[in-house]
């Protein structure tokens, strides 16, 4: 899985760009990097051009002090420009990658052929969730990103994944701990400030696939089902025995769902 550096305006992103055909942009969650999609990259690049960035601040794309869902959506559009992607493309985002998707739809929706939303939500944070994010951001700036790894890891994976695939749990922990505290804090603030996309749903007419792990403890399957029901052209696939990181935990059924959605 080789990466390259791509200039976008004032910054540079670290990106996997593999395969040819319909561009498929895979947008990672918080506070992760492109490696969370490693079980999709080879598996899908025979049918599409798989583009997988480390978003600004994450992975090998350098640390930042401030982020917004709007800015991250604009970064992705700039990345597509820099890679010469002018044709219709497929946006696929997990969790925070889904929050960014709502802004991508608003700001760059004319680029979309199809949309894939994994383990995410449309609603904004509750007031309590916002307060927790601000408190966590402060703690991370004082104590480092291990604080977030410790808080999130128990909620990211299904019990069966923890028992049977401890390697992916450990690798995810490393990625979170290696994310710069300033980036983690900036992303927490950006997620707290994100819009409530619920009222947009009836107007998002693009063909959409929603995927969620049966045991997702962070963005529950019941909420994903409601999103699918509110969108005019959406289909929902639940991944048995998976948690919030369904594409990493259970790649085969996720990849099958994506392949058949792309072929439709
Ligand atoms: C993610 O996986 O991106 C986060 O869990 C999203 C969130 O904290 O709301």
Q: Tens-of-pLDDT digits for all 264 residues of the chain? A: 799 999 998 899 999 999 999 999 999 999 999 999 999 999 999 999 999 999 999 999 998 999 999 999 999 999 999 999 999 999 999 999 999 999 999 999 999 999 999 999 999 999 999 999 999 999 999 999 999 999 999 999 999 999 999 999 999 999 999 999 999 999 999 999 999 999 999 999 999 999 999 999 999 999 999 999 999 999 999 999 999 999 999 999 999 999 999 998
CA of 21 to the centre of ligand 1 (A): 30
Atom of ligand 1 nearest to the CA of 133: 8
Q: Is 112 helix (H, G, I), strand (E, B) or coil?
A: strand
Q: Is the peptide bond before 77 cis (omega within 30 degrees of 0)?
A: no
197 vs 129: CA distance, rounded Å: 17
The first and second tokens of residue 13, run together, are 């992103």
Which of these, 214, 205, 204, 210, lies nearest to 241 by C-alpha position? Answer: 214
Question: Residue 9: its pLDDT value, please?
Answer: 85
Question: Residue 10: its pLDDT value, please?
Answer: 80
Q: Is 211 helix (H, G, I), strand (E, B) or coil?
A: strand
Atom of ligand 1 nearest to the CA of 28: 3
The DSSP symbol for 210 reads E
Q: Is the dihedral of CA 198, 22, 38, 73 positive or negative?
A: negative
CA of 187 to the centre of ligand 1 (A): 10
Question: Residue 257: its pLDDT value, please?
Answer: 98
Q: Which residues surround ligand 1 with Cβ inside 6 Å?
A: 29-30, 95-96, 191, 218
Helix then strand count (H, E) for the chain reads 11, 8
The first and second tokens of residue 123, run together, are 């609603």
Determine phi and psi for 124, rounding to 5 degrees. -80, 175
CA of 20 to the centre of ligand 1 (A): 30
The first and second tokens of residue 237, run together, are 């696939």
Cα–Cα distance list, 48 to 105, 209, 250, 255, 259 (Å): 21, 16, 20, 12, 9
CA dihedral 23, 211, 117, 235 (to 10 degrees): 90
């Amino acid at each position: 899985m080789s990466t390259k550096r791509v200039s976008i305006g004032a910054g540079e992103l670290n990106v996997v760009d593999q395969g040819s055909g319909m561009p498929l942009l895979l947008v990672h969650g918080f506070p992760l990097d492109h490696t969370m999609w490693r079980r999709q990259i080879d598996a899908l690049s025979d049918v599409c051009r798989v583009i997988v960035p480390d978003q600004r601040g994450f992975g090998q794309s350098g640390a930042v002090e401030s982020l917004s869902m709007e800015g991250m959506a604009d970064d992705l559009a700039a990345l597509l420009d820099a890679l010469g992607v002018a044709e219709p493309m497929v946006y696929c985002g997990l969790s925070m990658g889904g929050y960014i998707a709502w802004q991508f739809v608003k700001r760059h929706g004319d680029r979309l052929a199809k949309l894939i939303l994994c383990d995410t939500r449309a609603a904004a944070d509750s007031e309590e969730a916002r307060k927790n994010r601000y408190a966590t951001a402060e703690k991370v700036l004082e104590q480092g990103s291990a604080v977030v790894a410790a808080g999130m890891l128990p909620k990211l994976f299904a019990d069966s994944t923890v028992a049977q695939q401890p390697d992916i749990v450990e690798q995810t922990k490393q990625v979170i701990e290696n994310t710069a505290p300033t980036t983690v804090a900036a992303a927490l603030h950006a997620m707290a400030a994100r819009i409530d996309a619920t009222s947009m749903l009836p107007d998002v007419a693009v063909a959409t696939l929603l995927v969620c792990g049966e045991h997702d403890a962070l963005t529950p399957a019941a909420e994903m089902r409601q999103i699918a029901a509110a969108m005019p052209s959406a289909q929902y696939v639940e991944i048995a025995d998976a948690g919030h990181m369904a594409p990493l935990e259970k790649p085969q059924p996720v990849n099958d769902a994506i392949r058949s959605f792309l072929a439709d």
